[in-house]
Amino acid sequence: MTNWIETYRGTVPPWQCDVTEHFTVAYYFDRLEEAETTLADELGLGELLRGGGFVRRMDLRFARELRAGTSFHVISAPLGINLDGTTLDFRLGHRFIDSATGDTVTWVDAHWELSAAHVSSRQRDAIGGRLALWDGPVAEQRPDPTTKAGFIATARGRVRPADLDAEGRFSLSGIVHRFSSANGHAAVAMGMDTAYMQLNRRGFSTFEMAIRVSGSLRLDEPYLVKTGIAHLGNSSLRLIHRMVHARNGTDIARLSQFGVNLDLDARRPAPWPDEIRARAAALVVPVSSNG
């Protein structure tokens, strides 16, 4: 674990769990924002992160659930800093660890896409001497949708004061909360409304997420989320959510979310019923053949 440092320590409050009875994914990002800022400060890049204005990508793999009352901590490290012309790819890693067992429950492979001018050669050399090894999963390269047609509106609103980060921008966790709300509307379009899930003891459990944040919103600016299905399996589903500025259509963020239809009692994947599958199939959008 050389060069990994602790960047967060806490517990899962019951009120931050969702209908699937585990830690709501947006709150992972809430803790991740704290962890990433702590790591950035440690590496002398705190002001760069706070200034924003660059693309951030994160691939998350959920290996185990965090449920109400679980104590956990996060360790973080720089993984790579690669210069390609005027573009710098800064790679960071974060691991959510169950404090009772020591098991890594969530892996986060993150990238900042920077201008080389943002980080001096001295800073690059200093960070290069602190790189850690990554023994987590390799991020899957999933195919992208080939069109925006077929996406349905699943979330709309405005940025509220509680959504802002320390710099006054729409926070990462606030963005993911809106994507979680979009999940609910996508589920209703499939026929998985609240009554269905309660009666059948079903929920949607995410095992993989990939988020790309390319823009920002300020207080009271409007957003719109549209969603399509990129994969429909026996019990699995991959959703693509796109968030744009509702007035001018500027891209803000995109989320690829892969999960399963979860039997809440067995805590195991369950096949999609025929009626759910038929309605979900109508929401499937074409994706590229490569990736």
Q: Is the pLDDT of residue 291 over 60?
A: no
Q: Are residues 33 and 15 in the same domain?
A: yes
Q: In angstroms, what CA-CA distances link 159 with 18, 182, 192?
A: 22, 15, 28
162 forms beta bridges with none
Percent of the chain past pLDDT 90, that is, above it, reads 81
Give the count of domains, the chain.
2
Of 86, 118, 139, the position where a domain reaches its end is 139
- Asked if 151 contacts 189 with a C-beta cutoff of 8 angstroms, the reply is no
Q: Are residues 78 and 148 in the same domain?
A: no
Q: Are residues 120 and 167 in the same domain?
A: no
Q: Are residues 288 and 180 in the same domain?
A: yes
Q: Are residues 203 and 256 in the same domain?
A: yes
Q: Are residues 146 and 132 in the same domain?
A: no
Range of the domain at 127: 1-139
Q: Are residues 148 and 202 in the same domain?
A: yes
What CATH number corresponds to the domain at position 72? 3.10.129.10
Q: What is the pLDDT of residues 92-121, one digit of tens each?
A: 999 999 999 999 999 999 999 999 989 999
Question: What's the chain's average pLDDT?
Answer: 93
Q: Are residues 150 and 64 in the same domain?
A: no
Average pLDDT of span 136-145: 90
Closest CA to 1 of 143, 176, 163, 134: 134
